[in-house]
Amino acid sequence: TGQPAEVYSISAGLDYPGVGPEHSQLKDMGRASYVHISDQEAVEAFFKLSRTEGIIPALESAHALAHALRIAPTLSPETIIIVNLSGRGDKDVDQIERLVARGEIIVPEK
């Protein structure tokens, strides 16, 4: 139909149906890959960084953290993973509380 598919993300910054030409080109060149992270995985990464480092990541960044945590066990101990954190997570705390209250996500255990 030529129309964008419906999309959803817990993160408002990732909740849009679009990909810029730069991302398409980077993917085609093999210089970028894109993966799916569930809302629950993003929230678990959000809490992990908050609890271990005292840094509250934005939910957008929590998606990248979740992927880093997913692949870390498959990498050699010498491998360094860098995740760029952007935004502020304090703006997302109320949203997470609402989703927990509705039973849509589960707060990970400490």
pTM for this model (two decimals): 0.82
Q: Which long-range contacts (CB under 8 A, 24 or more apart) does 87-94 make?
A: 87/13, 87/57, 87/58, 87/60, 87/61, 88/56, 88/58, 89/46, 89/50, 89/55, 89/56, 89/57, 89/58, 89/59, 89/61, 89/62, 90/56, 91/58, 92/11, 92/46, 92/56, 92/58, 92/59, 93/56
- Check which CATH number belongs to the domain holding 66 and give it: 3.40.50.1100
Q: Is residue 84 domain-resident?
A: yes
Q: Is residue 73 domain-resident?
A: yes
| Structural domain count of the chain | 1
Q: Is residue 110 domain-resident?
A: no
pLDDT tens digit string along 13-67? 666 566 778 888 999 999 998 899 999 999 999 999 999 999 999 999 999 999 9
Residues spanned by the domain of 87: 12-101
Q: Is residue 3 domain-resident?
A: no
